[in-house]
Chain A
Amino acid sequence: MRKIILMILSSIVLLSCSKEEEYREINENLVFNVPDNFPAMVQDLSLNPPTQKGFELGRRLFYDANLSADGTISCSFCHEQGYAFTHHGHSLSHGIRDQEGIRNAPAVQNLMFMGEYFYDGASDNIEMISIVHIHNPVEMDETLENIVLKLKSDKSYVEMFKKAFDGADITSGNVLKALGQFMTMMVSSNSRYDKYVRKEPGGNLSDQELQGMQLFAQKCASCHTTDLFTDNSFRNNGLPPNPLLNDFGREKVTGFDYDRYKFKVPSLRNAALTAPYMHDGRFGSLESVLNFYASGVKDSETLDPLLHQNGTLGITVSENEKAAIIAFIKTLTDDEFIKNPLFYYKT
């Protein structure tokens, strides 16, 4: 039995629907639910338990371009809700002063169920994730200390921090905590597939989708495990390295050459929305991704052994099977998540 009980997003809706004036003064703890079909949480919720005010503050910060040096780039610039919080239309995510990064922004969802973040595992702490983007010269090119100074000049922020953190001032730590609380609550678990496995209304899958689910279990689920559709490991999936980027992946973080070209196995939740694909966004469609696994895997010293079995590179999959697998992946789209007003802030 799960000890952590229901996260009733609807309860937040109810709360925020109740009279603003009365409600403002109370900072309720938000209830975090582990969906029934999810594996156990990896992060410790008690380290930064989300509150209503902390969540609201984190949401405002997430959408605030003032977090960047010149006031142009917010978190939401690269993490757009409609695309499951990825950067649509760009293989490599853009940042401040029209610069380009070396990776494709990954989806922000279900972070409490992951031990490590970024394609290379540059962080293992949900509160500290934001540090990377804030300081990266091609993303926001700012410092936490300077963000604090900027926020302090805005009375409404001063007030929001006080409410969120028991009267506390704006500090680097509280900026990170608020963003962490917002991202903690970003759980996507209500796709058609979820309803199917939880036997809820609306959980109907077509024959092709069901066939795809079976094929997925045989051919994909050794890495895209559990209902998170990732084992959170780092693997070299045989992508030919892009010589223009020369991205060593996990090796950059660990310094071990056996980690060269290894990248984090992404969750496939909402994958139909998160094009382009792979760490460098090289593939524009799920079809291209499956074509790659069928015939494009390149051998190298660190290639994952699962993609080189019995002398065969990649995954054996027919055209019909590809279509079924893609049909199945599309059942992982969670409209409630991408349309949930709780995760949107009108700037």
Chain B
Amino acid sequence: MQSINPLAYSYPDNYSYTLINKMKFQIKNIAAVLAATALFVSCSSDDDSKIVEGTTGDAELFFDNGVAGDALILGSSYKNSNNETLTINRLSYIISNVVFIKEDGSEFVYPKEESYFVISQEAGLFTVHLESIPAGDYKSVRLGLGVDKQRFLQGETAQQSFWDLASANNLTWTWSTGYKFINFEGTFTTASSFDAKPFQMHQGSNTATDNYREITLNLPTTARVRENEQPSIHIKTNANVFLDGNTKIRLQDNLDGSGNAAAIMGGQNLIDIAANSLTFFEVDHVHNGEGTHHE
């Protein structure tokens, strides 16, 4: 700052008026910019409440479901690059094992036994509310899509008696035992078949393949957790990637024996969907401060 303070400059006598004037103008400009910057800095400085060691705060994850850039409206149709048009009637999924990560890489692992949540388009469940997170500035979050094997084997208590909630949202399997990580259903047509046929995509693990995945999401702005500040992390999802991601899965290729419906519930499809789902989430923005919730 010192070096561009006008008072610190000495101008040669033979400088032309215009030049001097021009310089004055520049200096004025610089000063204005500086003032504005100082104002901005001090504003955000006021905003950037101190982290009080030992205190905790809340945070929430808000899931804004979409399909390839469009909003997800149940009952609406979406055409994908497999030349299939999906009318989506259900999108529900399990979020688990939330981890908050600071710039230095240190992590806060949300207590596992309280870390299972259902997001359901039809039930209007879009928000994951998290409590008692150490005050801090978090640069990324990691979350699980589904229920991890280790935790599943620990049984019901460890999963907060999660069964009832999952069951109420069509996210349990009962003919084999476990959870549907993603329940994605509706009807579809193809370029050659205009009769809408039902489709069901039930993503999960079975005793042969573990299809639980964890996904790290960088935050475009720091999420500030304070005693009186609750960041809301706005995550946009893209349900198109399940079948139309890196690996293409055509529903027409997955018709059941009757040929009247497509069912994707096992085998290689689940492994491919697990890989495709790595791009299902993207953080759009973070609201910081008090009372900036999505509900």
Chain B 108-133, CB-CB to A under 8 Å as 1, else 0, gives 00000000000000000000000000
Determine if B176 is an interface residue (Cβ-Cβ < 8 Å).
yes
Once the chains bind, are B161 and A171 in contact (CB under 8 Å)? yes
- Compute how far the CA of A134 lies from the CA of B168 in the bound complex, rounded to whole angstroms: 16
Once the chains bind, are A180 and B155 in contact (CB under 8 Å)? yes
With known contacts A132-B174, A144-B164, A171-B161, A255–B265 Cβ distance under 8 A: yes
Once the chains bind, are B174 and A136 in contact (CB under 8 Å)? yes
Determine if B107 is an interface residue (Cβ-Cβ < 8 Å).
no
Determine if A239 is an interface residue (Cβ-Cβ < 8 Å).
no
Once the chains bind, are B161 and A47 in contact (CB under 8 Å)? no
| A residues less than 8 Å from B208 (CB atoms) | 121, 250, 253-254, 256, 259
Once the chains bind, are A255 and B155 in contact (CB under 8 Å)? no
Residues of B within 8 Å of A, CB-based: how many?
28
Once the chains bind, are B209 and A254 in contact (CB under 8 Å)? yes
| B residues less than 8 Å from A120 (CB atoms) | 176
Once the chains bind, are A256 and B155 in contact (CB under 8 Å)? no
Chain A 90-131, CB-CB to B under 8 Å as 1, else 0, gives 000000000000000000000000001010111111011101
Once the chains bind, are A176 and B175 in contact (CB under 8 Å)? no
Once the chains bind, are B266 and A254 in contact (CB under 8 Å)? yes
Once the chains bind, are B167 and A125 in contact (CB under 8 Å)? no
Determine if A190 is an interface residue (Cβ-Cβ < 8 Å).
no
Chain B 258-295, CB-CB to A under 8 Å as 1, else 0, gives 00000001111110000000000000000000000000
| B residues less than 8 Å from A252 (CB atoms) | 266
- Compute how far the CA of A46 lies from the CA of B183 in the bound complex, rounded to whole angstroms: 32
Most buried by A among B152, B175, B177: B177
CB distance from A265 to the nearest CB of B (A): 15
Count contacts between A and B, CB distance < 8 Å: 99
Most buried by A among B163, B178, B207, B270: B207
For window 10-30 of chain A, which residues contact chain B by CB distance below 8 Å?
none
With known contacts A145-B167, A254-B267, A122–B176 Cβ distance under 8 A: yes
Select one of B154, B163, B269 contacting A172, CB under 8 A: B163
Chain A residue nearest to B172 in the complex (CB): A131
The number of chain A residues touching the other chain, given as a range, is 35 or more
| B residues less than 8 Å from A121 (CB atoms) | 206-208
| A residues less than 8 Å from B164 (CB atoms) | 144-145, 171-172
Once the chains bind, are B206 and A176 in contact (CB under 8 Å)? no
Determine if A143 is an interface residue (Cβ-Cβ < 8 Å).
yes
For window 161-193 of chain B, which residues contact chain A by CB distance below 8 Å?
161, 163-164, 167-168, 172, 174-178
Determine if B14 is an interface residue (Cβ-Cβ < 8 Å).
no
| A residues less than 8 Å from B268 (CB atoms) | 255-256
Further 8 A-B residue pairs, CB within 8 A, beyond A125-B155, A144-B167:
A122-B207, A131-B172, A132-B177, A135-B175, A145-B164, A173-B159, A173-B163, A259-B208
With known contacts A173-B156, A255-B266, A128–B178 Cβ distance under 8 A: yes
- Compute how far the CA of A176 lies from the CA of B167 in the bound complex, rounded to whole angstroms: 15
| B residues less than 8 Å from A257 (CB atoms) | 267
Once the chains bind, are A131 and B155 in contact (CB under 8 Å)? no
Select one of B154, B265, B266 contacting A47, CB under 8 A: B154
Once the chains bind, are A172 and B207 in contact (CB under 8 Å)? no
